[in-house]
Amino acid sequence: MVIKLMPLKKRRPLNITVQFFTITLIIISSTMIITFFVSYEIAKRQVLDVGGEMFTNTLKDAVGFMDAMNQRVEDGDMKLEDAQDIVRTYLLGPKDHNGLRDISKSKMSTNDYMYIWAIQPNGTMAMHPFNFEGRNMWDLKVDGKYTIRESWANLKKTGRIFREVWQNPGEPVYTFISYQEYYAPWNWVVGAGGREEMIYTRRLETMKYTFLKVTALIFCVAYILIFLFTRRVIFKVNKIGNALNEVGRGNIKQNIHFKVNDEFGVLADNFNNMSKNLQKFLGKKVAVCSINDESEQYLRMLSESESRLRNMMNLNMIRAQEEERKRLARELHDRIGQSLYSVVVAMNLLNREKHLNESTQRYLDDVEAEISRAMSELKSIINGLRPASIEKSGLTPAMTAYIKTYESKWGIQVDFRNHTTNRRYPQEIELAVYRVFQEALLNARKYSKSDKITIDIFDNNDQLDLVIQDFGVGFKVSDKRPGKDGFGLNGMKERILLLEGSFDIESELGMGTQVSVSIPLPAE
């Protein structure tokens, strides 16, 4: 029987490098963005500690200078008033004709970011960059509070960090972080502080730029590694493809060899065996145009090998996605989860402090509630990425647990009818069915407007069947254009087909939607 060889159809190649890089970019970007915002918020909440450390060190230097001046007074080298004027000029800069001090010429203060002041316990301002020196501020009210008598002139608030409100002339009220100590030789309460928003804005800017540099470095390294890996894969795929094309043209004397004995190496060995058998069968004198019926079997084997290669790559990609989900879930739990838990412990310790005022206590309660909500949402994200109940208990218990959470969260009744023996199935089958089940419930919530869903799962020894039915608005299946059913439905269908199963959607307007899945089970 003479066979006329048809020219091979050329397909537009899919760029594997772009695919791998896109997936990795999405995963790394999501992880880095979440980590950055969580770290940023935690750092903002720790601004009191950051400011306290800075102001404590600054004030120690200032008091050290005051000690030096006071020693000169005690030695009789100068008068007390002259020593105090020198201290004011050194710490706050010279005074102009309006009574304001030029902080830009100070040796220690830095304008609105930080400055140093001093006040006597009776409320008289001894040192300040604005025109307050020599004035008694005891009865000054700032935003309804006696800031001077309650904080700055309060000896009970010396030697520690605190927040207070303040208002400079011609400016709005702002929050001030302060540290102050009592300087007994001059009967001054000396403090150092600055605007809270300026502290965390300037401090966190450095963290942000460092984070961006690290992120850029990670992306560069990831790109190089992906490029090198995919180049190896593409080389092997092209080599196998070229050999297949040569066989298709009639040149059956082909041999493929790879150094690494991976899946591609096994495929190359199978191809070489097939090529040798084909050569033996045809013989040296048989022309390509006279290939008989039995050679068609080898051509089909080539097609099946190519199909298996594609399925192997798709299945490996899905496995890689699941492994990446597990890794990302572990990273979220071990890093962000532990960080949030540490913050909760710290908040609990703060709540035990008896000296907290009412506004601070309310603020701490709000922060603790927000962190609890964040931990709950993080737990939900981790469970969606890696349903641990599947690995531990199996498919149907994991579905039952998810349904319980789904009903509680969305108020949709789910009637789950389990007709299986609750036995364990291969990991690929359990994950594929669970992802289909999960995506179908999410689609029902988003689009069906149904308040009830029924789910049936059957185990017929050699086949696993899943039927999900909602009673919502439905849609016309015939109106679906290619790609319009979304990544979720395409992804579900692709998973099932890779397992040699079937996937079907039936729906009508006003009659709801039914998703049906059947997967053959391996023999026990």
Numbered ranges of CATH 3.30.450.20 in the chain = 47-201
Residue pair 264/258 in contact by the 8 Å Cβ criterion: yes
> What is the residue-wise DSSP string for 498-521?
HTT-EEEEEEETTTEEEEEEEEEP
> What is the average pLDDT score of the chain?
78
Q: Does domain 47-201 have CATH number 3.30.450.20?
A: yes
Question: Average pLDDT in the 255-276 region?
Answer: 76
Q: Look at residue 385 and tell me whether its pLDDT is greater than 80.
A: no
Q: What's residue 202's pLDDT?
A: 63
Share of the chain above pLDDT 70, in %: 73
In the chain, the N- to C-terminal Cα span, in Å, equals: 44
Q: What's residue 502's pLDDT?
A: 93
0.75 exceeded by pTM: no
Would you give the distance in Å from CA 79 to the centre of its chain? 63
Confidence of residue 288 (pLDDT cuts 50, 70, 90): very low
Q: What's residue 74's pLDDT?
A: 94
Q: How confident is the model over 455-502, as pLDDT tens digits?
A: 999 998 789 999 999 999 998 877 654 444 444 667 778 888 888 899
Burial grade of 26 (CB within 10 A; 0-12, 13-18, 19 or more): exposed
Residue pair 153/191 in contact by the 8 Å Cβ criterion: no
Q: Does domain 389-520 have CATH number 3.30.565.10?
A: yes
Select the more confidently predicted residue: 336 or 423.
Answer: 423
Phi-psi region of 171 (alpha: psi -120 to 50; beta: other; left: phi over 0): beta
Q: What's residue 486's pLDDT?
A: 45
Name the nearest CA neighbour of 350 among 366, 335, 334. Answer: 366
CA distances from 498 to 180, 321, 369 (A): 70, 15, 45
Select the more confidently predicted residue: 381 or 140.
Answer: 140
Q: How confident is the model over 301-313, as pLDDT tens digits?
A: 766 766 565 555 5
Q: How confident is the model over 83-94, as pLDDT tens digits?
A: 999 999 999 889
Select the more confidently predicted residue: 171 or 207.
Answer: 171
Best mean pLDDT range from 108-122, 140-154, 271-285, 339-353: 140-154
Tell me the β-bridge partners of 165.
175
Q: How confident is the model over 72-120, as pLDDT tens digits?
A: 999 999 999 999 999 999 998 898 888 788 888 887 766 556 788 899 9
Share of the chain above pLDDT 90, in %: 22
Q: Look at residue 409 and tell me whether its pLDDT is greater than 80.
A: yes
Question: Average pLDDT in the 264-290 region?
Answer: 69
Best mean pLDDT range from 202-211, 349-358, 438-447: 438-447
Q: How confident is the model over 133-183, as pLDDT tens digits?
A: 889 988 888 888 888 888 877 778 777 777 788 887 778 888 888 888 999
Q: What's residue 440's pLDDT?
A: 92
Numbered ranges of CATH 3.30.565.10 in the chain = 389-520
Amino acid letter, 242: N
Q: What's residue 248's pLDDT?
A: 76
Residue pair 472/512 in contact by the 8 Å Cβ criterion: yes
Name the nearest CA neighbour of 204 among 48, 44, 320. Answer: 44
Amino acid letter, 189: V
Cβ atoms < 10 Å from Cβ of 287? 9
Q: Which residue has the tokens 């050569």?
A: 279
Name the nearest CA neighbour of 223 among 235, 211, 231. Answer: 231
Question: What is the distance between the alpha carbons of residues 121 and 158, in angstroms, rounded to a whole number?
Answer: 11
Q: What's residue 78's pLDDT?
A: 93
